[in-house]
Amino acid sequence: MRGSAACLSLAVAVLCAAPVLAQNGQWHQELHGSYGIDFLAPLPPAPSHLHSPWPSPPLVRQPDEVRALYVNAWAFGGSRLRELIRLADETEVNALVIDLKDDTGYLTYQSRVPTAIAIGANRELRAPDTEARVRELLAHGIYPIARIVVAKDPLLAERKPAWAIQNRGGGLWRDRRGTAWVDAFTDSVWVYAAQLAAEAIKMGFAEVQFDYVRFPDEPRARMASAVFPGRRPGESTRQGVQRNLRMLRTRMQPLGVPVTLDVFGMTTVTTGDLGIGQVWEDLVSLSDVVLPMVYPSHYYPGMYGAASPNAEPYLVVRRALEDGLRRSALLERPASIRPYLQAFTLGAPRYTGAHVRAQIQAAADVGINSWVLWNPRSDYREAGLAPVKLALGSQPVM
C-alpha cells in the first residue's frame, strides 16, 4: 500500500483475513477469548424524529475532536458491540466507524436501494437491526460514522459487469487475489455509494466515510490488461477520481453531513497519483475530512530515515502528517485531517498500547487531535486508550 508490492500484499492479506473468516462462518473461532457479552438487550421503539421525511437531519453534531474506533460489520452486528460501547463510555473514545458496505460488496443492513436489491447485497446481512444499534450508540453519546467501500466491490462487479473493469482478453479483470473491481470511471458506481449513504443518514448516522475511492493498486503488468468502460476520451485516473468525487459531494450536499474519505497514507508525501488516482490536493479540496491511513507497518524500509518504520510509530506518523499539513496549507479551504492509526500487529514488533499512544501523541504534536484506530478484528483491549473520557464536544441535537 505504501511501499513495495510485496509489503502491500502482506498488509492487505492480514487486514482482510477477519472478514473472510467471518463469511465462512468462523468468526467465533477467529475471535477466541471474545468478550463474552450477551447480545444486545431489546431496545425501545425508535423516536419519532427517526421517521421524519427523507432525508432525516443528522442527530448529532460532529465533535470538535473525533476519537474513533473502526468496527467491522460482524462486531457491530454481534455481542462485541456491547463491549465497544462500554469501552467508549469508559475512555476517551467518542465515535465509532461502522462498516455498512465492506469490500465484499455485501451490506450490514437491509437496503431499499434498487441496485442493492438487484445484485443481492442484502443476502448476507451482518446486522438486520442496524437502526436500533445506531440508536444505542446515540443514547450513549457516541458519534456514529458509516463506512462505505466504493470501488472494491466484487459483488457489484460480478452482478453488473457493465460497471466493472474488463479484461482485454475477455471477461472481468481481476487483481492478484482474484477479486473483481468495479470501474471507478463509471459514475453509476458512485451514485450507488451515494444512495447507500442517504440510507445511512436516515438510520441515524451522522457522517459517511467513503473508502476505496480509487483504482486498484496493482503492478503495471497486471493493469495493462485492464479496460475501463466508463473512461472518457483522454481521461486519466486522477481526472476520473476528481470527476466522481465532485459528483459524490454534490449528491451528498442535501444530507447536511460531512463527506469524509479514507486515502492511502503515501498521498501525504507523493506528488503523483500513485497509479490509483489519489492526489492529496484533490482529496482535501473535494471533501470535509480526509483520513490518511498512516500505518507505520505499511511504509518501506528507509522511509523518513527509519530502517524499520513499523518500529518507529511516532516518527512515521508525525512526518507523514507534517507532509500533509504542509501541502494543505497552500490551499484555500482544505479538508481537516483525521488519520487512521495502527492498532494491529503486522510483523515485528508486536503492537501494544504504547505503540498506539505514540501515534496519538505524534498527531497531537502537530496539532491534530482527531483520529481513528484500525484493528481488523475490532479488538481494542490493548490499544492503550485513556481511561478518562476527554471533552465530548458533541451533544444530541434537541
pLDDT in tens, 29-86: 222 232 222 233 333 343 433 333 333 445 578 899 999 999 999 999 999 999 999 9
Coil, helix or strand for 144? strand
Asked, as a colleague might, if the bond just before 55 is cis with ω within 30 of 0, I would say: yes
Over range 93-104, report the average pLDDT.
97
Q: What is the pLDDT of residue 61?
A: 82
Q: What is the pTM of this model?
A: 0.84
Terminal-to-terminal C-alpha distance of the chain: 43
Cα 63 off chain centre by: 18
Among 1, 36, 3, which residue's Cα sits nearest to residue 303? 3
What is the distance between the alpha carbons of residues 265 and 1, in angstroms, rounded to a whole number?
Answer: 8
pLDDT in tens, 24-44: 332 222 222 322 222 333 333
DSSP structure string for 360-388 = HHHHHHTT---EEEE-TT---TTS---SS
Residue 388 pLDDT class (50, 70, 90 cuts):
low
Coil, helix or strand for 245? helix
Residue 346 clears pLDDT 70, i.e. is over it: yes
Cα 248 off chain centre by: 16
Q: Which residue has the cell 452486528?
A: 77
- Beta strands 166-167 and 226-227, pairing class: antiparallel
Q: What is the pLDDT of residue 23?
A: 32
Residue 333 clears pLDDT 90, i.e. is over it: yes
Query: Which residue type sits at 157?
Result: A
Q: What is the pLDDT of residue 321?
A: 98
Query: Which residue type sits at 254?
Result: P
Domain spanning 5-24+57-374 has what CATH number?
Answer: 3.20.20.80
What is the distance between the alpha carbons of residues 57 and 365, in angstroms, rounded to a whole number?
Answer: 35
User: Which DSSP category does 348 fall into?
Assistant: S
CB atoms under 10 Å from CB of 344, counted, come to 19
Q: Whole-number mean pLDDT of the chain?
A: 86
